[in-house]
Amino acid sequence: MKSRLWRSSPRSSRSIANTPAGQDTNASSVRYRVTFNGDVTGVDPTDFVATVVSGGLTGASVTTVTPVSASVYTVDVNTGTGTGTLRLDLVDDDSIASGAVVLGGVGTNGSFSTGQSYVIDRTPLTVTVEQAVGQADPTSQGTVSFTAVFNKDVTDFTDPDVTITGTALLMNATVAMVDAKTYTINVATTTTSGTVIASLAAGVAHDAAGNPNTASTSIDNTITVDKVVPTVASVSALNVDGSYGNAAVIHITVKFSEAVLVTGAPELSLNLAPLPVRVVKYVSGSGTDTLVFDYTVNPADNVARLDYASTSALALAGGTIADAATNSAVLTLPAPGAAGSLGANKNIVIDTAPHLLSAALAFWSNGRRQFRDAHRHQPAGHRVQSRRLWPSPRSASRPRRPC
Ligand SMILES: [Ca+2]
Ligand SMILES: [Ca+2]
Ligand SMILES: [Ca+2]
């Protein structure tokens, strides 16, 4: 009998669908469309229940039933508070009928609980903006990159949504989607140095439920752009002015306009002309603005005023000298002897003349005491300084012999 009645009289609910279609919302009220397979009467809020399928939604309730036609009804549901999945179910209590025939026949057989659900999403949409993984900072690159990561998928995040600030000449950002939560923000740099800072103001992007983003947070969303190339400011030495002999070490300092990083062993050629041209190696200073090149005086070296060989005497020799942003240093030195040069900043004499002849003559003609006196007056690093020593009166009458 039931099956016959079913066939002869429409009296079941055919569907309960979201209206408008769409699942995610943060609305305080949602609407379902309930469609029966025939005209019915007696449909009211007590025939429905707002079922929380999942999540922490509380306080959801059916508020209004409005007929669209005798077989179609809209049902408005207050979505309560919190976040969760909400479905509208029809609970058959035989109060809905088509003529004399109750829904589904006598009993709770007309209940319906397989309709569509809404995802009520009130979780705030948050976003972080950080300099991209692998992004050099500081950098001299033509483009710098940040990464924006939302906690949920967004669909409306575009170039103008990015705020670029900082002290570099500000360029517009371009946004490239990695996935619906993750976006790369690229910013072209100019010839201007400074900082580039990327952020998102609140409300520029939305999740599927319509929640606007809160303002972005960051641990490091600042990239320093450095387009200034290091240059040599001056060359000097750690040693005091004076005369230096064989095996003395002259610590030559090359000061740059900013801190530089060194790889390998750059070289500095000195002016010990005509031969040999001494090439000395970098020894320390990477990470600071002053590099040290150590010159150990060789036995044959002599020069009245130590300097480097030319404006191009500083050479990489397979190494590198660059700032932290990888701008390679300009290696041009002040002209030898000109302001800023080693020769201008220091008066360092290299004197390794053996002077053995004069010393022997002195010893022969003047005796041990005078030689000791002469030796005592030599500058540091010298065994003997060339000077003329007059014979003593006692030995003056002895004829001198060439050695
Ligand atoms: Ca029933
Ligand atoms: Ca940074
Ligand atoms: Ca620089």
CA nearest to 87, candidates 108, 65, 110, 113? 113
CB 154 within 8 A of CB 207: yes
Angstrom distance (rounded) from CA 321 to CA 265: 10
Angstrom distance (rounded) from CA 182 to CA 149: 5
pTM, 2 dp: 0.74
**Confidence check: pLDDT of 312 > 90:** yes
Distance 323 CA to ligand 3 centre (A): 5
Which ligand minimizes its atom distance to the CA of 227? Answer: 3
What mean pLDDT, rounded, does the chain reach?
A: 87
Kind and range of the H or E run holding 32: strand 29-36
Please provide the size of the chain in residues: 403
Work out the average pLDDT over 36-46: 94
pLDDT at 4: 26
pLDDT band at 386 (very low <50, low <70, confident <90, very high): very low
Distance 395 CA to ligand 2 centre (A): 81
pLDDT at 275: 60
Distance 223 CA to ligand 3 centre (A): 14
Q: Considering only residues 24 and 375, tell me which one the structure prediction assigns the higher pLDDT.
A: 24
Cα separations in angstroms, 255 against 148, 293, 374:
41, 11, 39
Distance 173 CA to ligand 3 centre (A): 24
Both tokens of 287, joined, read 């990470």
pLDDT at 355: 60
The residue to which tokens 């002195």 are assigned: 362
Which ligand minimizes its atom distance to the CA of 140? Answer: 3
Give me the amino acid identity at 394.
Answer: R
pLDDT at 370: 52
Distance 388 CA to ligand 2 centre (A): 67
Which ligand minimizes its atom distance to the CA of 197? Answer: 2
Distance 153 CA to ligand 2 centre (A): 26
Distance 135 CA to ligand 3 centre (A): 17
Work out the average pLDDT over 124-148: 96
Give me the amino acid identity at 324.
Answer: A
Angstrom distance (rounded) from CA 122 to CA 25: 8
pLDDT band at 8 (very low <50, low <70, confident <90, very high): very low
The maximal CA–CA distance of the chain, rounded, in angstroms, is 160
Distance 259 CA to ligand 2 centre (A): 18
pLDDT at 16: 87
Distance 334 CA to ligand 2 centre (A): 35
Distance 310 CA to ligand 3 centre (A): 25
Distance 114 CA to ligand 3 centre (A): 67
Angstrom distance (rounded) from CA 215 to CA 198: 12
pLDDT band at 190 (very low <50, low <70, confident <90, very high): confident
Angstrom distance (rounded) from CA 163 to CA 187: 11
Distance 134 CA to ligand 1 centre (A): 66
Distance 324 CA to ligand 3 centre (A): 7
- 54-58, 108-112, 276-280: range with lowest mean pLDDT: 276-280
Kind and range of the H or E run holding 359: helix 356-376
Which ligand minimizes its atom distance to the CA of 93? Answer: 1
Cα separations in angstroms, 75 against 16, 98, 357:
9, 19, 120
User: CB 395: neighbour CB atoms within 10 A?
Assistant: 13
**Confidence check: pLDDT of 21 > 80:** no
Distance 12 CA to ligand 1 centre (A): 9
CB 63 within 8 A of CB 76: yes
Angstrom distance (rounded) from CA 241 to CA 348: 5
CA nearest to 162, candidates 125, 190, 196? 196
Q: In what order do the strands lie in the sheet with 194-200?
A: 162-165, 194-200, 222-225
